[in-house]
Amino acid sequence: MIFEKANHLKGEVTIPGDKSISHRAVMFGALAEGTTEVTNFLQGADCLSTIDCFRKLGIEIENTPEHILIHGKGLHGLQAPSSVLDTGNSGTTTRLISGILAAQPFETTLTGDASIQKRPMRRIMEPLSMMGADITSVKGNDCAPLHIAGAPLHGIHYHSKVASAQVKSAILLAGLYAEGETKVTEPTVSRNHSEIMLRYFGANVRTEDKTAIIQPEPLLRGQQIKVPGDISSAAYFIAAGLLVPGAEVCIHNVGINPTRDGILRVAQAMGGDITLLNVNNDGEPTADLLVRHSALHGITIEGDIIPTLIDELPIINIMAACAEGTTVIKDAAELKVKESNRIDVMAEHLSAMGCDITGTDDGMIINGGKPLHGAVIDSHMDHRIAMSFAVASLVADGQTRIKDSDVVTISYPHFYEDLAGLTR
């Protein structure tokens, strides 16, 4: 797809549902007794992979434009699938479902697309094995396909080396079935949607500083879930609103959970004019964001804030490229093991657009303020790379061509239409 510089960006946009919360609503709804109704569910390919896997595990799920209905069968109601479970491009599906499957009285094989088959699974295989799980990498390379033979589990206290909500959630889900209590301590607290939603369904989960603690065998009951808009998707409109001269955008119903809101804190620290309106603290907090064009300056982004904006670092790179001065990003080695190696891919393609960027072992250094020009960008089949460069193209001279641009269906199927709606 070809993109051109925008001389105008104004209007309102309502962001589709949060990807992390949509996945969890289906999974926890499947493990609850009775029906769970989910509204504003993200109809992205990743969340559809989760639905597909749970249907194969015997759960009836109705997907209509109005809502999703999950007819849960309780903690012990899943059935052996008659084929391999395909998690597509979704790391969240792969890792979270592994925690559930580890405790089922049947065997499963789990696989996904070429990207998933390269992503590290040792990080869940290790703690789940410590809990008694029988989980192996079929090719012996610590990646999917994974073979999981259900086994009796026991609680552990796991000290995770990475701040990863996928790892934490896989362990907590296994903990639903384990004998005794299960604890996960992280180096920095990662997104806490599992803890919030499991509690909402009736699980006994508590947090003490950087440790999440779960008790086994709760009675989970079907619930109504209103999924907030995904701040990771809103991030592209935040950046576009800040970067395009004269822009003013109102982004409606954005989830602003403090474990996810690093993009707001960073954008404001860079000089971004963002006002939060209609803040609602009922359950997962939400707000409308009013974003106005701003002169940005470089900053250092490191430490505890990193997990709260890990998926937003590609678009933060674009903001940094347009900001005056130097932006240094550290402590973000996890970028190397996302849907693509986001350090290498961002460094390669932002350089091609004229930016002074150097990839490092755990982040990047960007000397911003040089004019960007159009280039040919390979999305590397990574939705966040495609959306980041679509925003970069709005402030770049000439044309930008993004290869495999339709990969945005993973998390934001109507992204290009929504962006074009603001530049018309």
Interface map 189-208 toward ligand S3P (x if CB under 6 A): -xx-----------------
Nearest distance in Å: CB 166, ligand S3P: 3
Decide if residue 184 touches ligand S3P (CB under 6 A). Answer: no
Closest residue to ligand S3P: CB criterion: 20
Name every residue whose Cβ is closer than 8 Å to that of residue 295 and which is 6 or more positions away in sequence: 271, 324
Say if residue 204 is exposed, middle or buried (CB neighbours under 10 Å; 0-12, 13-18, 19+): middle
Return contacts of 135-140, CB within 8 angstroms, 24+ apart: 135/98, 135/102, 138/109
Among 36, 40, 87, 92, the residue binding ligand S3P under the rule CB under 6 A is 92
Which is closer to ligand S3P, CB of 43 or CB of 399?
43
Rounded CA gap, 347 and 340, in Å? 12
Decide if residue 166 touches ligand S3P (CB under 6 A). Answer: yes
Name residue, tokens 């954005």: 254
Decide if residue 86 touches ligand S3P (CB under 6 A). Answer: no
Segment interacting with ligand S3P (CB under 6 A) among 62-70, 162-170, 261-269, 373-381: 162-170
Neighbour tally for 372: CB within 10 Å: 23
Rounded CA gap, 18 and 15, in Å? 9
What is the token pair recorded at 183?
């604890």
Which is closer to ligand S3P, CB of 20 or CB of 423?
20
Decide if residue 165 touches ligand S3P (CB under 6 A). Answer: yes
**Among residues 347, 331, 329, which one has the least CA distance to residue 385?**
347
Which is closer to ligand S3P, CB of 169 or CB of 405?
169
Segment interacting with ligand S3P (CB under 6 A) among 104-112, 159-167, 235-243, 401-409: 159-167
Dihedral sign for Cα 312, 317, 320, 325, please: positive
Active site residue 311: yes
Decide if residue 311 touches ligand S3P (CB under 6 A). Answer: yes
Catalytic residue among 311, 378, 382, 418: 311
Of residues 7-26, those binding ligand S3P (CB under 6 A): 20
Nearest distance in Å: CB 119, ligand S3P: 9
How many alpha carbons lie under 13 Å from residue 200 in its C-beta half-sphere? 20
What is the token pair recorded at 410?
């993973």
- Binding residues for ligand S3P, rule: CB under 6 A, are 20, 92, 164-166, 169, 190-191, 310-311, 334
Question: Which residues are the active-site residues?
Answer: 311
